[in-house]
Amino acid sequence: MIKSMTGYGKRSVSTSIGNITIEVRAVNNRYIEVYPRIPDFLSDYEIKLTSQIKEALQRGSINLKIEVEERAEGREILHFNSKKLKNIYSSLSDIKYSLDLDGDVTIDHILQFSDKLLEEDDIATESVYQKIKEGLELALQDVDDMRREEGEALYDRLQDYIEGIEKNIKNVVSRSDNIKDELYEQYKASIKDLLDESDIDEDRILQEAAMAAKKIDITEECDRIISHVQQFRKYMDGEKLAGKQLNFLAQEIHRELNTIGAKCNNSEISHIIVESKNEVEKIKEQVRNIL
């Protein structure tokens, strides 16, 4: 069954540094792109988190947001290392005097190096990462569940569109069977206007009509469209990712419809082809969001 590329998941986990909220949003994309917004202390784990997302979701534009809340008892999540703070202040003061700069070294200057001031014991440990990983796995499962639900709705719409195209093409095939007889009558009427009826060569009229019918024969194009329709349904019912294949088949159906429209100069068939193209455009629009 097909899946949508749109999904959302959110989970919270409790860790030694506080509650951590993990939020994942997925929308359609031709490839897989992950855009993480995570606290600085998780930077060493960004690659692992990104890989976990890519493995689970496979395609789409994915936004990951991780936020840390202070624990309820009021303990700060991160503490400054006072020794490093003094060293930074001393270094900045030395630079100030060596360059003969005006003004004093302030806390704002020191905080520019805040990432250097965090206590190492309070930076995310492997155990905290494991908690985040577990929470992310649950959030990704939520995304996948939503993708399945969206996929079921897409499936029903696509079935309607593809069924409409199939009916139209069968109608075209049925209508095209009469074209040869119509051509014969058209050629015969035209020749009768020019010649006496006694001079009409029925075999020649049949030959001319057959040649004209061959030029506008659309049997192969109709057969290919029916084949594409059948393949389209197989991909929709399959277990593998089908978005790219469905998009390709929609393009092929559209191409065959163009050929039929160009070859067959018949108003009724032309109307059916235009209607079928509209159905293909609807399919293309929906397929863009299929995993």
Is residue 232 in some structural domain?
yes
Asked if residue 232 and residue 162 are part of one domain, the reply reads yes
Is residue 236 in some structural domain?
yes
Domain count across the chain: 3
Domain limits for position 200: 149-287
Q: What global pTM score does this model have?
A: 0.71
Asked if residue 34 and residue 87 are part of one domain, the reply reads no
- Residue 208 confidence (pLDDT): 64
List per-block mean pLDDT (blocks of 10 residues) for the chain, which spans 291 residues: 94 90 96 93 91 96 90 50 75 83 80 60 70 96 96 95 96 78 66 61 66 73 96 93 94 95 84 95 94 90
Asked if residue 195 and residue 260 are part of one domain, the reply reads yes
Which contacts of 25-29 are long-range, i.e. CB under 8 A and separated by 24 or more positions? 25/62, 25/63, 26/57, 26/60, 26/61, 26/62, 26/63, 26/143, 26/147, 27/60, 27/61, 28/4, 28/60, 28/61, 28/288, 28/289, 29/5, 29/59, 29/60, 29/61
Asked if residue 180 and residue 103 are part of one domain, the reply reads no
Closest CA relative to residue 16, chosen from 60, 71, 63 = 71
- Residue 215 confidence (pLDDT): 66
Is residue 14 in some structural domain?
yes
Q: Which two tokens stand for residue 232?
A: 């389209």
Q: Which two tokens stand for residue 7?
A: 């999904």
Asked if residue 262 and residue 155 are part of one domain, the reply reads yes
What is the rounded distance in angstroms from the CA atom of residue 132 to the CA atom of residue 153?
Answer: 32
Is residue 204 in some structural domain?
yes
Asked if residue 259 and residue 187 are part of one domain, the reply reads yes
- Residue 118 confidence (pLDDT): 52
- Residue 212 confidence (pLDDT): 63
What is the rounded distance in angstroms from the CA atom of residue 241 to the CA atom of residue 259?
Answer: 30
Is residue 210 in some structural domain?
yes
Is residue 2 in some structural domain?
no
Is residue 90 in some structural domain?
yes
Asked if residue 190 and residue 135 are part of one domain, the reply reads no
Asked if residue 155 and residue 273 are part of one domain, the reply reads yes
Is residue 1 in some structural domain?
no
- Residue 75 confidence (pLDDT): 46
> Residue 15's Cα: distance from chain center in Å?
35
- Residue 37 confidence (pLDDT): 95
Asked if residue 201 and residue 139 are part of one domain, the reply reads no
Asked if residue 191 and residue 256 are part of one domain, the reply reads yes
Asked if residue 135 and residue 192 are part of one domain, the reply reads no
Q: What's the CATH number where 130 sits?
A: 3.30.230
8 A C-beta contact, residue 128 and residue 18? no
Q: Which two tokens stand for residue 234?
A: 């197989």
Asked if residue 155 and residue 279 are part of one domain, the reply reads yes
